[in-house]
Amino acid sequence: MRDESDATGRNTPKKRALRSVAAQAAVLSAAVHFLWAWPRLGELGDPRPAVFLLGGAFTVAIAVATLRADEYRRLYALGAGTLLAFLVGYVGWHGAGVPAALAADPLAIVAAAAEAVGTVAFLALYWLAPPTSVVVERRRSSENGDAEGGDAEKGGIESGGAES
């Protein structure tokens, strides 16, 4: 039997699609930063390669958490903020020369597009997610129901239903 909380919870089609878009955009942005930073890692005086590697790893961790964790607004805000920081950092580094810098580097175009799309997707997820207190309460009530043996009619693990 289908759990009614899925109709308004984490697994609505819109939220699944947005999570997928947000995670893919984050991973694409991280991949571009890795590709740019790795060959330049040994250069002295330029902090960007090390920052890009750390930022890229952090972005991948956010993408994984977005796909696996409950719908926490703080996680979505962190994802949007991280991708937006990459965009603002690019503009801050290049200043008025952003159009010329983008035209000279196809990887920068891919990263900027992924970051813009990912930021919008993370903000949409933030907007659609319930407050953290609601998510925590849902989790507690499902854990208490499972710990007490659960009801086979509610689609728990014991009845072979999907775990959300």
Q: What is the pLDDT of residues 39-95, one digit of tens each?
A: 999 888 888 999 999 999 999 999 999 999 988 999 999 999 999 999 999 999 999
Task: Please write the tens of the pLDDT for every residue from 143-155.
Answer: 887 555 444 444 4
Q: Three-class SS of residue 131?
A: coil
As a whole number of angstroms, the distance between CA 29 and CA 57 comes to 11
